[in-house]
Amino acid sequence: MGLPIFNILILFLLLKFSHNVTSDSSEEAYALLKWKTSLQNQNLNSSLLSSWTLYPANATKISPCSWFGISCNHAGSRVISINLSTLGLNGTFDDFSFSSFPHLANLNLSFNFFFGNIPLQIGNLSKLQYLDLGSNQLSGLIPPEIGKLNQLRRLYLDMNQLHGTIPLEIGQLSLIDKLALCHNNLHGSIPSSLGNLSNLTNFYLNNNSLFDSIPLALGNLKSLSIMDLSKNHFNGSTPFSLGNLSNLAVLYLHKNSLSGSIPSIIGKLKSLLQLDLSENQLSGSIPLSLGNLSSLTMMSLFNNSLSGSIPPSLGNLKSLSALGLHINQLNGFIPPSIGNLSSLRILYLYNNGLYSFVPKEIGYLKSLSELELCTNLLSGVIPHSIGNLTGLLLLSMCGNHFSGPIPKSFRNLTSVERVLLNQNNLSGKMFEAFGDHPNLTFLDLSNNNFCGEISFNWRNFPKLSTFIVFVNNISGSIPPDIGNSPKLQVLDLSSNHIVGKIPVQLEMLSSLNKLILNLNQLSGGVPLEFGSLTKLEYLDLSANKLSSSIPKSIGNLLKLHYLNLSNNQLSHKIPTEFEKLIHLSELDLSHNILQEEIPPQVCNMESLEKLNLSHNNLSDFIPRCSEEMRSLSCIDISYNELQGPIPNSTAFKDGLMEGNKGLCGNFEALPSCDAFTSHKQTLKKKWVVIVFAILGMVVLLTGLTGFFFFFQQRKKVSQEEQSNSMNRLRLLSVLNFDGKIMHEEIIKATDDFDEKFCIGKGGQGSVYKAELPSGDIVAVKKFNSQLVSGNMADHDEFLNEVLALKEIRHRNIVKFHGFCSNGPHSFLVCEYLDRGSLARILGDDVTAKELGWNRRINVSKGVANALSYLHHDCLPSIIHRDISSKNVLLDSNFEAHVSDFGIAKFVGPHSSNWTEFAGTFGYAASEIAYTMRATEKYDVYSFGVLVFEVIKGNHPRDFFSINFSSFSNMIIDVNQILDPRLLTPSPSVMDKLIWIMEAAILCLDESPEA
């Protein structure tokens, strides 16, 4: 009887165990399915997660162990790993039941689009060993509950938008060996409790906003192999305790605010491979002990305040491939022991105070590809051994005191691409040292004492693009075979003693964009063949002995932005063909013997900013059309034979006019034009009396006089009517509006511009909404009151916007109705777009969600269409110069309209106009700050920023620092970009977004020409 009872008991226990297993598997399966339904992009990942199903429905046991990305233990009873990395998943962890996975050891959800907070319940994963949530869009604080994961070995939270401080509780994860919290918004200090992570091998806190000093407790991390604390705000000294990290291979502390000296104890880190302490505020000398780091491959100490000499002990670093000590205050000589660094490829010592000669031992560095010694106090001759560096690509020794000739061994440097030996005291015949350099692209030997003639064999330099030798003692003529350098883009032979004619063979330099030959003794005429140099942007032939007339073919140089022919003996008249130089910003024809009038065609040079025609024999009147040259800011027409009134513009008011006896105008030091007019009228009356007496044709003369005064009166009446109309309102009637009525209706509709009708404010003024009696709703941009009181700059911006808008007709550009520029108000009237600016829409969560992906694509297309119209369909072309989200308005159908043309510039495609910085910071290209040249690329760069703002939902800020290695991995990098407020786009829409982002990246290229 006992045996059956025992069997029944065993069967009961087995059934109960089986039930528990089924229950456990089912609980995990149901938890995963519930979380799957909360994800926002089911369609995108349906094929990958299609295995996540309860099928077959009649199964006795529901298990997720065969599902994609899920792994279970050997018994198949519990989920131990969830790996869904790089699937483009979009959602939150709000519906993820952490408590349902008590055996989970691995959770990898990196490279997706998860957003929101990391839940506190993550602390329930008590057996978790590997946690990777990196490269998502998570935000909020790092929960201290992570400190409960006492089995955790690796933690990755990098590339998210987390903020706050590092929880002290992380210091309780005693088993952790890899910790990555980089690329977040963490601030505060590093808690000393992190020193308890005794098993930690990889430690990444780079790219955050952490500050305060680096805690000494980090010296307890004896297992650490990699420590990256770069790109934060750490201050104080580098802790000596780091010398205890005997296993450390990588130490990155660059781009912080560390001060004090480099601890000599770092020399004890025998395992160190890479050391980067650059871009801090470190001082003192380089410790001799660093020479003990025999395994070191990279040492970067640049951009600090280090002083003293370079320790000879660094010559012990036989494995070193890159050494950067530049931009410090180092002095003394370069130690000969540096020649022992047989593996060295990069040596940067520039911008220090190093002196004495360069040791011949530098020729032992056979692996060297880049040598930078510029801006020191080095002297003596360039060592002959430099010719041993046959793998050298860059040789930069500028700004020193080297003397003597370039060693002939230089002929051996057949791989060299860039050579900078300028600003020294080098002498001799520079060309004797050059042989066959097939890879040379850049050669700068300027500011030396080289002599002799230009005697290159130009065919030996097939890739040479830049040749600069100004300020030397070069003599002889320019060799005709210089035309055998088809890649040459910059040729500067200025400030030498070159004689003879300019060879016509220069026309063969089809790639030339900068030609500088000034301050020589060149004679003859300017070659007609120069007209074929269609890529030329900069031409300076000043201070020579050139004669004859200026060739008309110069008018073919359509890309020219700078032209200087001054201080020559050029004669005849200014060519009318100059009118084609619509991109020219500066023209200097002074100190020649030019004659006749200033041709009115000059007025077509709408980009001209500086004009110097002084010291010539120009006569007749100044063209009245020059008043319309909106870009002209500086003019010198002194010492000519000009006469008549000065044009009424700021440039002429502030310009130099002396030396012309016939000029008049309402300007200081010039006689009034009224006196000239009165004098002419008196002469005219006397002439009429003489005619009466001699001819006796009183009747005929009376008829002619009456006829004359009849037309004069008609002209006067017409002018008075026009003047009265303009002075009364100066209002332009456009479309179906009447000027005077519109003015009165706007004043009434806005209650004389009451604040309650204001819908926006900017630097130039405010924008008001006005509903006219006709039912039309318009936007009125009222300019600041100082415009009316005579502020010329504001007045120019006002007129500039009027002139731009009245010529534009495009569906993606705001429609212009009229303007007023007199009386107490100056304003523009445009169509009213009810959704307002793109910046306002993206800045509000509700309206941003209304602007879905397809609408955002259309917004980008609309702005692109508007810019294409402005750049290519307008004549002259228009550069907006302030493309930003605040200047893109949306109508009721979410159609984009570009607005605000106050600082627009009239130029054309591919122009190179010099200008002051304008626009909105964060949207303007960096090259504007140093080139001061406005081209259509100005708008192209801004458009690239705008596209990323549209897709990301806010201004991209530091996003441009990301290096897109290829467009093929865009789907990974796009995780950081898409606006998390929208659902993940469908595959077809995603393809369009990626294509648009690829185009935007091209718009943001560092090179404007690209």
Q: How far apart are the two ends of the chain, measured CA to CA in Å?
A: 94
Q: Please report the sign of the dihedral spanned by the C-alpha atoms of residue 722, residue 723, residue 729, residue 734.
A: positive
Amino acid occupying residue 561: H
Distance (Å, rounded) from C-alpha 692 to C-alpha 194?
A: 111
Locate 589 and state its tokens: 């024809």
Percent of residues in the chain assigned helix, strand, coil, to nearest 5? 30, 20, 45
Distance (Å, rounded) from C-alpha 609 to C-alpha 1005?
A: 28
769 and 779 Cβ atoms separated by less than 8 Å: yes
Distance (Å, rounded) from C-alpha 531 to C-alpha 553?
A: 5
Question: In 556-646, at which residue ranges do the beta strands (DSSP E only) sit?
Answer: 562-564, 569-571, 586-588, 595-596, 610-612, 617-621, 634-636, 641-645
Q: Are strands 777-783 and 825-831 parallel, antiparallel or unpaired?
A: antiparallel
Distance (Å, rounded) from C-alpha 625 to C-alpha 604?
A: 9
Among 132, 794, 882, 939, which one carries the catalytic annotation? 882
What is residue 391's three-state secondary structure? coil
Q: Are strands 70-72 and 79-83 parallel, antiparallel or unpaired?
A: antiparallel
What is residue 755's three-state secondary structure? helix
Distance (Å, rounded) from C-alpha 350 to C-alpha 360?
A: 18
The side-by-side arrangement of strands in the sheet containing 425-429 is 355-356, 377-380, 401-404, 425-429, 449-453, 473-475
Phi and psi of 162, rounded to 5°? Answer: -70, 155
Q: Which helix (H) or strand (E) holds 850?
A: helix 845-850
Phi and psi of 488, rounded to 5°? Answer: -65, 125
Distance (Å, rounded) from C-alpha 230 to C-alpha 228?
A: 6
Distance (Å, rounded) from C-alpha 324 to C-alpha 320?
A: 11
If one counts every other C-beta atom within 10 angstroms of the C-beta of residue 465, the result is 18
Give the residue from 744, 753, 807, 803 showing the smallest Cα distance to 783.
753
Q: How many helices (H) and strands (E) does the chain have?
A: 13, 61
Distance (Å, rounded) from C-alpha 158 to C-alpha 181?
A: 5
What DSSP letter does each residue of 457-476 carry, written as one string? Answer: -GGG-TT--EEE--SSEEES
Distance (Å, rounded) from C-alpha 368 to C-alpha 819?
A: 66
Give the residue from 202, 201, 210 showing the smallest Cα distance to 230.
210
Phi and psi of 78, rounded to 5°? Answer: -140, 140
Backbone angle region of 917, left / alpha / beta, with phi > 0 → left and psi within -120 to 50 → alpha: beta
Locate 936 and state its tokens: 């259509």
DSSP secondary structure code for residue 414 in this structure: T
Which ranges in 407-494 belong to alpha helices (H)?
none
User: Is 882 one of the catalytic residues?
Assistant: yes
Q: Which helix (H) or strand (E) holds 362?
A: none
At residue 448's C-alpha, the angle toward residues 444 and 449, to 5°, is: 135
554 and 584 Cβ atoms separated by less than 8 Å: no
Tell me the sheet residues that pair with 314. Answer: none
What is residue 767's three-state secondary structure? strand
Cα dist. 926→28, 559, 1001 in Å?
53, 22, 15
Enzyme catalytic residues? 882
